[in-house]
A = this chain, B = another copy of it.
Amino acid sequence: MIGARMGPTVTGRVAALLGAFDTTHAAMSLTELARRAELPLTTTHRIVGELARSGLLERDDAGRYRIGLRLWEIASTAARTVDLRDAALPVLQELYAATHENVQLAVLDGTEAVYLERVSGPRAVHIITRAGSRLPVHASGVGLALLAHAPVEVQDEVLAAPLRRFTRYTVTDPRRLRRALADIRRDGYAISDRQIETVSLSVAAPIRDRTGRVVAAVSVVAAAQTDPRQLIAPVRAAATSISRRLPIVTTVDAHSRPAKL
């Protein structure tokens, strides 16, 4: 499906080949790459060879291809989220140093939350996300904080689709979820209590740009037996602090909706 949607141009094929890589497909043989991108092996061979010569892909000792350090470097220094991550990182570190729990930063992309940063140490509870991960917005703390402040069209789209039940605590009834979103807007924070994994809960708060628009959310994820009320003040303080540190002219846009690969 990845390749078919990209159209028949060479640029589309390059995009299909890059889009074939993800967490569970981080290193692939030419054959695997061709299959995932739905491209002929000869085409794949030719394009991948060129991408490897430019450093965008790299070949390992086993002959498998991976995303190259050069492409990671380009994406790390120039993605539209750089300003946000730069503003947030010191605050996230302090929030981690104060709580020793997982700290996360996420933005909305379409109807999903994309995790930009995760700060966590060896003592923190197990957590499924990391930088670059994507999760539906209806269940996690940051997801709920982002969804509560998303444009109405995005909320309607999320609420109209089937809501995945991660645990028996996940709210999957659209009316209950809509009420929860209203509470989040009123309270200024979101609590996801065992709605992603039964071992953990999270408390999240929205980050706003200078115009007051919500552009991201920050959360602490802690063990399920933690009292979430003790996390509300530090998480909200961190969100306010990050909001103040955002550059005036920001490139941050939580509501961009690029076509999916």
Contacts and interface: CB of A to CB of B under 8 A. Distances in A.
Given A27-B251, A50-B12, A79 B71 contact: yes
Residue among A46, A73, A122, A131 facing the most chain B CB atoms (10 A cut-off): A73
A27 to B, nearest CB: 6
B14 A90 contact: no
Copies of this protein, total: 2
A182 interface: no
B21 A107 contact: no
A26 B251 contact: yes
Contacts of A77: 21-23, 26, 130-133
A18 interface: yes
Contacts of A18: 56, 71, 74
Contacts of A19: 54, 70, 74
Interface of A: 6-7, 9-12, 14-15, 18-19, 21-23, 25-27, 46-47, 50-56, 58, 60-61, 66-82, 86, 89-91, 93-94, 96-97, 100, 107, 109, 114, 118-122, 124, 130-134, 251, 253, 256, 258-261
19 contacts: A6-B54, A10-B10, A11-B50, A14-B14, A19-B54, A26-B82, A53-B258, A58-B256, A58-B258, A67-B74, A67-B80, A68-B79, A69-B114, A71-B75, A72-B76, A72-B79, A76-B131, A89-B118, A89-B120
